[in-house]
């Protein structure tokens, strides 16, 4: 696609970051990328529909970047390029919705783990995630480093260190 002056091409950087992380770190896992989570509508509007038709109705549900099925656990992944504290609450919501997701019903007995995969470090995000048992992984393949170098400096640097445990 040719460059158009004054128009930036939208890049699906978070989806690419997540997909590459999964491919490199969990190559044998069953991966559901951009997985819809939560229950389907119930009631008369679903009566008589096939499973595929019911699932297509469920496209208004929340969507996790990835859900991985491993032999001993499920892993729900939310990714980010630029630090956003809201990603933690998104992931916590997804962890709650997994149990009510019909597509994941065969794995309902497995324990669920959350991982935030990001390109930038934020000490507050790290500390808050740790409080809720969520792992934060900084993943910077070469293209991410190049991408961060191309954006404004205020968007490309890690956040300053803050220690939440030192509060009175």
pLDDT in tens, 60-89: 788 999 999 999 999 999 999 988 889 999
Closest CA to 148 of 157, 161, 160: 157
Distance CA 37, CA 153 (A): 35
Mean pLDDT over each residue of the chain, to the nearest integer: 84
pLDDT of residue 49: 75
For residue 34, CA distances in Å to 16, 67, 76, 157, 160 come to 11, 8, 11, 27, 31
Confidence (pTM): 0.79
Confidence of residue 162 (pLDDT cuts 50, 70, 90): low
Distance CA 117, CA 159 (A): 16
Distance CA 157, CA 148 (A): 8
pLDDT of residue 53: 74
Domains and CATH numbers, the chain: 13-160 (3.40.1350.10)
């Amino acid at each position: 696609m040719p460059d158009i002056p004054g128009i930036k091409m939208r890049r699906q950087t978070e989806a690419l970051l997540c997909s590459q992380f999964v491919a490199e770190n969990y190559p044998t896992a069953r991966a559901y990328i951009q997985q819809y989570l939560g229950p389907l509508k119930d009631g008369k509007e679903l009566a008589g529909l096939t499973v595929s038709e019911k699932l297509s109705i469920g496209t208004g549900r929340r969507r996790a970047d990835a859900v991985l099925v491993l032999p001993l656990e499920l892993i729900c992944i939310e990714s980010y390029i630029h630090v956003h504290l809201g990603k933690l609450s998104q992931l916590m919501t997804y962890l709650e919705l997994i149990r009510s997701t019909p597509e994941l019903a065969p794995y309902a007995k497995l324990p669920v783990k959350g991982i935030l995969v990001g390109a930038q470090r934020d000490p507050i995000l790290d500390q808050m995630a740790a409080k809720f048992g969520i792992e934060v992984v900084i993943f910077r393949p070469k293209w991410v480093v190049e991408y961060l170098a191309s954006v404004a400096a205020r968007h490309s640097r890690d956040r300053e260190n803050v220690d939440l445990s030192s509060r009175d």
